[in-house]
């Protein structure tokens, strides 16, 4: 497995920002992943695992990590009756298209969610009333000691934007259970979901999707908008004028621009509404 040096991470995140990884690898198989982890341990270099980079903000600095990107890991889909196995590197939206074309239903509401299956399972991604945990039969994981094991979906500890079973482990893939569906109806639902996303979300700008989790009893976007923060900028980072829970790279934003704007939004919303916002986006290097 080839370990590269001094790789820019800008093209590996949906924000199109980020510094340089001192060491970098893109394994395509579980065996290659194990090799990467062993190399990092042998050389006493901290490793960081990332998927499609869709829920991640990376600092602008040189990172003394071995950054391991899993967007190519086990990138295949296998079907057996009502079940589908999809590897961690498969795009969530690609699996949804596959199920629709296979006359299977259940995932259409998540159409358009960016990122990989591995990332979706790690954070229990969801939209419009459907979460990936609802469809998960089993998660295939790699433990810290290098052993492969599976956890039943019912035992995985799925909750809002969190999956307990994944913590401390690496997602290799998952098995999902679907019902037989009407392809034309599933395509209609998917088309409508994609239309709603395009209407309400600033898809024309690089972003991480929703920056903040939904506070109990509130919606983050509504609180931010109520505070008059739509369009607020720091450098190239901007609170979207279309959806206030999106902080976008409006052109030339650095990781620091985005991080500083996130912190300022949190501070103003707490002062004006008394609600403490909590990030969905994860950080590396800050």
Which of 71, 186, 210, 240 is labelled catalytic? 210
pLDDT at 1: 77
Catalytic status, residue 187: no
- Nearest to 183, CA basis, from 241, 88, 97: 97
**CA dist., res. 142 & res. 145, Å (int):** 8
**pLDDT value at residue 175:** 98
- Whether 44 is a known active-site residue: answer no
Catalytic residue among 161, 197, 214, 233: 161
Q: Compute how many other C-beta atoms are within 10 angstroms of the C-beta atom of residue 149.
A: 12
Task: Sketch the domain layout of the chain as residue ranges.
Answer: 4-69, 77-199, 220-284
In whole angstroms, give the CA distance from residue 140 to residue 118: 10
| Bridge partners for 39 per DSSP | none
- Report how far apart the first and last C-alpha atoms of the chain are (Å, whole number): 29
CA gyration radius for the chain?
Answer: 19
The reply to whether CATH 3.90.1150.10 applies to domain 4-69 is no
Query: DSSP for 200-256?
Result: HS-TTS---S--B---TTS-HHHHHHHTT-TT-EETTEEE-SS-TT-EEE-SS--HH
For residue 6, the model assigns a pLDDT of 96
Spatial distance between the Cα atoms of 147 and 282, rounded to a whole number of angstroms: 26
- Which one is the CATH code of 77-199: 3.30.930.10, 3.10.20.30, 3.30.465.10, 3.30.360.10? 3.30.465.10
Q: Quick one: which of 107, 80, 81 has its CA closest to 94?
A: 107
Catalytic residue among 108, 138, 140, 280: 280
CATH numeric code, 220-284: 3.90.78.10
Question: Nearest to residue 283, comparing CAs of 252, 264, 260?
Answer: 260
**Residues 248, 205: Cα–Cα separation, whole Å:** 6
Annotated catalytic residue 22: no
Helix then strand then coil, % of the chain, to nearest 5: 30, 30, 40
- For the chain (286 residues), the mean pLDDT of every run of 10, in chain order, is 93 95 97 95 94 93 94 95 95 97 96 94 94 97 94 96 94 96 97 94 94 94 97 98 97 97 98 96 93
Residue 45's pLDDT is: 94
């Amino acid at each position: 497995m080839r370990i590269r040096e001094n790789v820019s991470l800008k093209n590996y995140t949906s924000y199109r920002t980020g510094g340089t990884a001192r060491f970098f690898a893109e394994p395509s198989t579980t065996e290659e992943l194990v090799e990467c982890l062993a190399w990092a341990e042998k050389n006493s270099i901290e490793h960081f695992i990332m998927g499609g980079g869709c829920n991640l903000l990376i600092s602008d600095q040189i990172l003394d990590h071995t950054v391991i990107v899993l967007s190519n890991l086990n990138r295949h889909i296998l079907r057996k009756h009502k079940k589908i196995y999809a590897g961690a590197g498969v795009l969530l939206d690609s699996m949804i298209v596959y199920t629709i074309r296979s006359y299977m239903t259940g995932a259409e509401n998540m159409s358009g969610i960016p990122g990989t299956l591995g990332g979706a399972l790690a954070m229990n991604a969801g939209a419009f009333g459907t979460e990936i945990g609802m469809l998960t039969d089993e998660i295939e994981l790699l433990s810290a000691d290098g052993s492969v094991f599976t956890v039943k979906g019912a035992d995985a500890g799925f909750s809002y934007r969190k999956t307990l079973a994944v913590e401390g482990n690496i997602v290799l893939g998952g098995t999902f259970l679907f019902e037989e569906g009407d392809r034309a109806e599933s395509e209609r639902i998917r088309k409508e979901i994609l239309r709603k996303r395009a209407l309400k979300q600033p898809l024309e700008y690089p972003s991480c999707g929703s920056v903040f989790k939904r506070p109990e009893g509130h919606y983050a976007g509504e609180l931010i908008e109520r505070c008059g923060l739509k369009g607020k900028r720091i450098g190239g980072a901007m609170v979207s004028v279309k959806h206030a829970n999106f902080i976008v790279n409006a052109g030339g934003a650095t990781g620091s621009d985005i991080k500083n704007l996130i912190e300022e939004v949190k501070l103003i919303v707490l002062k004006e509404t008394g609600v403490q916002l909590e990030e969905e986006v994860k950080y590396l290097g800050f």
